[in-house]
Amino acid sequence: MALPWALAVLSLLPLLDAQSPACPNFSVPITNASLDQISGKWFYIASASRLPGYKEKASKIHASFFYFTPNHTEETILFREYMTMGDQCLYNCSRLKVQRENGTLSTSENDREYYEHLLLPKDPKTFMLASFPEDKQYMGLSFFAEKPEGTREQKEKFYDYLTGMGMDKSEVIYSDEKK
């Protein structure tokens, strides 16, 4: 009797999807306009991720801001990051690759590419990056804004996307600008 039950559940899935308009579209292609939109200075506000060890790492970040400098012809983004961890101030500079067609940015670490889906809410003063959105075990979502503290509306959008992905507000780790 398990099979008919499973089929009935599967047939409900598209319905459930249609009922969650908050769930972001992870495969919106990246255009020159979206690259222009994310060009400039951004503050890291909050994130949630189920990657092992992530919580420990993220809770050490008190503050972080960075500059994105996209290169439209090279399909890369120069990423210059300033981060306060404990009482240390760290600077890091790297290059992200842009995969326009599937809407992702990637970094290479230890010969592996890590993909983040770029999510652009209507408000151009904020953006998000989603990792492994299809994998409940490893999924993550990070939230950035033009000002060190996101507005209430921007945070609501972040929570919407987070719950749309199947994560919970209690999983969120916030940066702490005041320290």
Ligand X SMILES: *[C@@H]1O[C@H](CO)[C@@H](O)[C@H](O)[C@H]1NC(C)=O
**Residue 40: C-alpha distances to residues 73, 124, 173 (Å):** 18, 12, 24
- Which spans in the chain are helix H? 2-18, 32-38, 54-58, 152-165
Q: Which of residues 91-110 bind ligand X (CB under 6 A)?
A: 92, 94, 99, 102, 104, 107, 109
Phi, psi at 17, each rounded to 5°: -60, -45
Judged by DSSP in three states, 121 sits in coil
Task: Please report whether residue 72 would count as binding ligand X according to CB under 6 A.
Answer: yes
8 A C-beta contact, residue 161 and residue 24 = yes
Distance in Å, CB of 135 to ligand X, minimum: 11
Q: Which of residues 14-53 bind ligand X (CB under 6 A)?
A: 25, 27-28, 32
- Distant-in-sequence, close-in-space partners of 92: CB < 8 Å, separation ≥ 6: 79, 80, 81, 83
Q: Which residue, 34 or 126, is less far from ligand X as judged by CB?
A: 34
Stretch that binds ligand X, among 47-55, 89-97, 123-131, 165-173 (CB under 6 A): 89-97
Q: Specify the length of the chain in residues.
A: 179
Site map 152..171 versus ligand X, x via CB under 6 A: --------------------
Distance in Å, CB of 48 to ligand X, minimum: 19
Residues at the contact surface with ligand X, assessed by CB under 6 A: 25, 27-28, 32, 71-74, 90, 92, 94, 99, 102, 104, 107, 109, 115
